């Protein structure tokens, strides 16, 4: 079975079907409408989602590493420059705890990527340098709300 997806201008559909009729029997050809591109949430929707996220990740007084991890994410943490290239197990665990807390809002693993997208960086010789966290629009709203309430 051959699956062929072609974006065709409606006026050219007849010509395309004639061109492939020698290769594909007409009973095997099915036409589909293109899937709509999902619309990004509106500002109101983003604010509501940000409030849910804040509730899920807000650090308690007994969670200083979560607070520190959120502060680092908010400013676009760079593991190479901020940690001097040294691993930080406590920070990694705190990031994991934040991601786990976000599952209550998003329901999937690696939900932390909704707040900041990790981007690996490399040295000139192609060896691993570190990870930079790029804050998403949702992450920027969440961090602004956390800062406004004094949580981070």
Look at residue 8 and tell me if it is in a domain. Answer: no
Note the pLDDT of residue 1. 56
Look at residue 68 and tell me if it is in a domain. Answer: yes
Look at residue 73 and tell me if it is in a domain. Answer: yes
Look at residue 13 and tell me if it is in a domain. Answer: no
Cross-strand pairs, 122: 128
Note the pLDDT of residue 133. 92
Backbone dihedral region for residue 84 (phi beyond 0: left; psi -120 to 50: alpha; all else: beta)? left
Q: Which residues of the chain have pLDDT under 50?
A: none
Q: How far from the centroid of its chain's Cα atoms is residue 109's Cα?
A: 11
Q: What is the rounded distance in angstroms from the CA atom of residue 84 to the CA atom of residue 120? A: 15
Question: How many structural domains does the chain have?
Answer: 1
Cross-strand pairs, 134: 117
Look at residue 33 and tell me if it is in a domain. Answer: no
Q: What is the rounded distance in angstroms from the CA atom of residue 112 to the CA atom of residue 95? A: 8
- What confidence tens digit (pLDDT) does each residue in 23-46 have? 877 777 777 676 666 566 566 788
Contacts of 111 (CB under 8 A, 6+ apart): 99, 102, 103, 105
Residue range(s) defining the domain that contains residue 94? 43-148
Look at residue 34 and tell me if it is in a domain. Answer: no
Look at residue 101 and tell me if it is in a domain. Answer: yes
Look at residue 17 and tell me if it is in a domain. Answer: no
């Amino acid at each position: 079975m051959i699956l062929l997806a072609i974006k065709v201008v409606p006026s050219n559909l007849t010509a395309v079907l004639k061109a492939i009729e020698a290769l594909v029997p007409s009973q095997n050809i099915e036409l589909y409408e293109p899937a709509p591109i999902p619309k990004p949430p509106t500002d109101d929707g983003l604010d509501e989602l940000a409030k849910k996220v804040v509730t899920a990740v807000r650090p308690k007084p007994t969670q200083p590493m979560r607070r520190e991890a959120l502060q680092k994410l908010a400013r676009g943490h760079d593991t190479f420059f901020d940690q001097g290239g040294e691993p930080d197990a406590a920070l990694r665990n705190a990031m994991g705890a934040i991601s786990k807390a976000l599952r209550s809002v998003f329901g999937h693993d690696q939900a932390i990527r909704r707040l900041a997208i990790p981007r690996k960086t490399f040295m000139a010789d192609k060896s691993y340098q570190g990870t930079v966290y790029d804050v998403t629009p949702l992450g920027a709203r969440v961090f602004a709300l956390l800062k406004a309430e004094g949580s981070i």
